[in-house]
Structure 1
Amino acid sequence: MRPSYSSDRCWSTVVRNKLKYVSTVGHSPPTDLLTALTEGIAPDGGLYLPEVFPTLESTVLNRMKGLPFAEVSRIISQHLLGDELQSKNLDELIHKALNFTIPLSEYQKDIFGLELFHGPTLSFKDVGARFLAQLLDFLREEDDQPLFILVATSGDTGGAVAQGFFDKKGIQTVILFPSGRVSPLQESQFGTLGGNVHALEVSGNFDDCQKLVKSAFLDHELNKRVKLGSANSINIGRLLPQIFYYFHAYGQLLTQEEPLFSVPSGNFGNLTAGLIAKRLGLPVRGFVAATNINDTVPEYLKTGTVRPRASIPTISNAMDVGDPSNLSRIEYLYQSNLTKLRCDIVGSVHSDTETRACIRTVYRSTGKILDPHSAVGYLGVEPGVSRFGHGPSMFLMTAHPIKFRESVEQETNCTLTIPESVSSALLSKRQVVPIGPNLSELREFLLNKT
């Protein structure tokens, strides 16, 4: 049931047209927050970014030292969205969406893991998906046209979005995932819910799923009949809350030194959020774009050439992306100036063999267990230090090891216990619809649901 609030929860509390959002292509006019959230992709095919990045004062940064994640999130939200939502409503939104911790764990001197997997689906994507779901639920009116959220997932996005939007009134959530490319636990978190969550198994790879979503948004006839929205990292509403935990990470350091962030990357929303955080005033020594062998962005940083290609399956499957959407945002932020981009980011590419060895080595030396994605992040620290110098270095831990149980148990010889919060999904009935990698089948499915 939709929660009851006082009358100030109505549209009168929303002061729009304050912070504008612009397209990375530049052919669409600036728009307001709600439009950017519900459109997902701008009319010209670009992705939305804030028109300006208001810098935080140093006193605010200092005030965030040692604060809980929810409080840091409130401060940054107020900074970015304060002209859109009243403070008490923003507090309510954050309380519902971000009611979990994000601790910083020390692995060795000056190397820390930022544990982003303590949300309901054990993935960093809980942060963005839950915040976006609550924000849309707050901004939409009761009698608005039904909204169809389209999501392409290579792993964890599907579960986070499905759980975040489950039972949201007036919203249908459609998850497209590549057949045979996600783990059973990952699929169970979105493929067993039913209700307003629909799982479409695409006979292809993640790039095929992503192309279907983009094609649907650009299909003018379809959009006349169905109101579409996105909850992938292409949606600015999912991207903005990912900024929060970069500030929270800095706030947990017992030093004023600038940290390095090694970011395991697939579609590059996480890294884009970090770059925006730096624009807002976060002290950062540098970033590592750490990938598996799907190395489109590290190759671009090295050669200056963007060469999209079909993705290659790896054990870090959520990063199996050959044509990352958020690269356009990164290029926009740096005005396609590769020299400036290289000043802030270094690429780091790691094979499955290296990733497996890292899981083994870290477990033997620390007793701590990394999932394959977090291991790629850990591996990125060394090249990051080589490029940007010594100091506190953080790698983002994007998923709980249980989500990649087979790979992790094989390398550690440990038997992992499935957390009770997700184990029931594995026993639930599978509710999945197979489709081909073509827009006509997706269009037919959507029109049949209207």
Structure 2
Amino acid sequence: MKFYSTNNTSSRVSFKEAVFNSMPQDKGLYMPVTIPRLDDKFINNLDSYTLPEIASHVAQNLLGDDIPADDLKAIIKDAINFYAPIVKLEEDVYVLELFHGPSLAFKDFGARFMSRIMSYFLEAGEKQLDVLVATSGDTGGAVALGFLGVPNTRVTILYPKGKVSDIQELQLTTNGQNIRALEIDGTFDDCQALVKQAFTDPELNAKYRLTSANSINIARLIPQTFYYFNAYAQALKQGKSQVVFSVPSGNFGNIGAGLLAWKMGLPVGQFIAATNANDTVPQFLKHGVYEPKPSVATLSNAMDVGNPSNWVRIADLFKDDAGQLNKLITGYSFNDDETLAAINAVYDHYKYVVCPHTAIAWQALKDYQQDIHIDDTVGIFLSTAHPCKFPDVFPQKIADHIEVPAQVKDLQAKDKQSVELGIDFEGFKDYLLKNA
């Protein structure tokens, strides 16, 4: 499979080059030249396959001969070694739990797959791979654990000071070995801007072999399609063949992967883009004007993105039919008060605890179901992080019912190690050059 830049559709690179270069020099994002449509027999019988079997089939169709089938199966078996169940809350409402991986967030799918793909492609004697990643919360922890101890790699994580939860920060800053953390005195957008500028800086690229672990990397996007197919497979087992997905959305990689799955033939009736106060995309879907704006801090911090990078991928998917985009995606946004109300409502209705991001997805689904009455359609909202990662958000009656996993208790006994930097690129560049 070949890949092109969204800023130059005539360009062509291999999957390996797209993974290692991460972002083209023209500042676009890589997309597959062709998006294969999976055969109806596979789609209609998804319920007869396991998650690893589904993942291998989807990946093989996307990547073609870039990785031999047996090698790809081995990578997936190692990377996706946890489950992602859908849980029924009411007759037409299910939650897709994506927090059963090592970092307790959905980003384990992308980070673990990508780290193993990079390790697979790295050859003996090659220059060390320097992975730069900006995080608004969960990406950094998933990437840190995904790459921890991977030979010939070093990961530098940039996160916004004071804008991630205590547990998220511990996941970023307590790893040591080949993982280092930079605490940036700014927003996620500032962190992301520093990473993007580094990729186009000649001096840094001459000295280091830079790549990204953010969702701008195509190797992060591909494995996120797996759980959409798998969720549909589980719905089929429940006798449900008509589904809509409500997706907590920040940098729009998650819903972008769902739309890629739809392009491959997954029969999804609607995607709901659920955001917090950073509502650039919902406003675009309502008014037709795309206006990025500075991000604002919210309780759902992993979604605090005012200029989502992956929107260019979504626009590219529908470049030949922009009208279809507006038909397929509905946007909803909620402020912190509405988020807290949703957390309480979910607990009161189901005795089920959701993180702030998940609460927004649930509320968006319920609003959509009230606005659009469709019979025989099940709504699946994505639970993107374990609620224990946000202990300060919950009232005591809910907090008392959160089970804290053992790995979190282990984190709390470790010491934070990070370097504080400002938002100026020269300061970031100087740090990289002086800390080879």
Displacement of 1:63 in angstroms is 3.3
The answer for the alignment partner of 1:397 in structure 2 is: 383
Alignment of 1:248-327 (within 5 A): 248-253=230-235, 254-255=238-239, 257-327=241-311
Matches within 5 A, 1:50-69: 50-69=32-51
- From the superposition, tell whether residues 62 and 313 of structure 1 become closer, same or farther in structure 2 (CA, over 3 Å): same
Partner of 1:367: 351
**Matched residue, 1:353:** 337
Q: Distance in 1 between matches of 2:399 and 2:417?
A: 33
Mapping 1:83-162, distance limit 5 Å: 83-162=65-144
Q: Any residues of structure 2 matched to 1:209-228 within 5 Å, and which? A: 209-228=191-210
Percentage identity across paired residues of the two chains = 42
Residue 198 (structure 1) aligns with: 180
**Residue number in structure 2 paired with 1:329:** 313
Correspondence for 2:2: 20
The offset of 1:413, in angstroms, is 5.1
Match of 1:9 in 2: none
Match of 2:413 in 1: 427
One-letter amino acid of the structure 2 residue matched with residue 192 of structure 1: T
SS state at 1:380 partner? helix
Distance 2:372 2:312 in 1: 24
Bigger shift: residues 89-98 or 180-189? 89-98
1:206-251 Cα distance to aligned partner (Å, 9 max, x none): 1100100111111122211111100101000001100000000000
Deviation track 1:319-371 (CA, whole Å, cap 9, x = no partner) reads 01001001111111111854221110010111111111111111112111111
Q: Is the Cα–Cα contact under 8 Å of residues 243 and 380 in structure 2 kept in the other structure?
A: yes
**Does structure 1 retain, via aligned residues, the 8 Å contact 2:240–2:378?**
no
Alpha carbons of structure 1 residues 298 and 410: separation in structure 2 relative to 1, 3 Å: farther
Q: Equivalent residues in 2 for 1:430-449 (5 A)?
A: 430-449=416-435
Question: What is the Cα deviation at residue 64 of structure 1?
Answer: 2.2
Distance change >3 Å, CA 76–CA 336, structure 1 → 2:
closer
Distance 2:373 2:192 in 1: 34
Q: Which residue of 1 aligns with 2:221?
A: 239
- Whole-Å Cα distance in 1 between the matches of residues 16 and 429 of structure 2? 24
2:403 pairs, out of 410, 417, 426, with: 417
- Contact map agreement 2:339 2:360 (CA 8 A) in 1: yes
Inter-partner Cα distance in structure 2 for 1:349 and 1:416: 26
Q: Quote the Cα distance in structure 1 between the aligned partners of 2:105 and 2:240.
A: 28
Provide, for residues 274-308 of structure 1, a one-character-per-residue CA deviation record: whole Å limited to 9, x for no partner.
Answer: 11000000001010010001000000111111111
The SS at the match of 1:346 is: strand
- The answer to whether the 8 A contact 1:372-1:408 is kept is no
Is there any run of 5+ residues in structure 1 with no aligned partner, and where? 1-18
Give the superposition deviation at 1:118.
Answer: 0.2
Aligned-CA RMSD value: 1.5
Report the equivalent of 1:16.
none
| Cα distance in 2, alignment partners of residues 449 and 109 from structure 1 | 55
Alpha-carbon distance, 1:143 to partner: 1.2
- Cα deviation for residue 28 of structure 1 reads 6.5
Contact 2:98 2:384 in 1 (8 A): yes
2:94 is paired with a residue whose SS is strand
In the alignment, which residue of structure 2 is the partner of 1:342? 326
Cα deviation, residue 77, structure 1: 1.6
CA shift, 1:389, in A, is 2.9
TM-score w.r.t. the length of structure 2 is: 0.96
Compare 341-350 and 253-262 and name the one that shifted more. Answer: 253-262
Which is further off, 197-206 or 376-385?
376-385
**Cα deviation digits, residues 19-70 of structure 1 (max 9, x gap):** 1111111167211001100111112110011111010001111332143322
Distance 2:320 2:284 in 1: 11
- Equivalent pairs counted in the alignment come to 432
Structure 2 counterpart of 1:376: 360
Q: Answer with 424-433 or 176-185: which moved more.
A: 424-433
Provide the C-alpha distance between the structure 1 equivalents of 2:289 and 2:308, rounded to a whole number of angstroms: 14
**Quick check: 384-393 or 140-149, which moved more?**
384-393
Query: 1:256 deviation in Å?
Result: 5.3
SS state of the match for residue 273, structure 1? helix
Determine whether 1:47 maps to 2:2: no
Deviates more, 1:26-35 or 1:144-153: 26-35
What is the aligned partner in structure 2 of residue 13 from structure 1?
Answer: none
User: What is the TM-score normalised by the length of structure 1?
Assistant: 0.93
Q: Tell whether the 8 Å contact from 1:152 to 1:232 is kept in structure 2 after alignment.
A: yes
Contact 1:102–1:115 at 8 Å: present in 2 too? yes
In structure 2, what is the equivalent of residue 5 of structure 1?
none
AA at the equivalent of 1:295: D
Q: Relative to structure 2, which stretch is displaced further, 285-294 or 419-428?
A: 419-428
Shift of 1:124: 0.1
Task: Measure, in 2, the Cα distance between the counterparts of 1:411 and 1:377.
Answer: 22
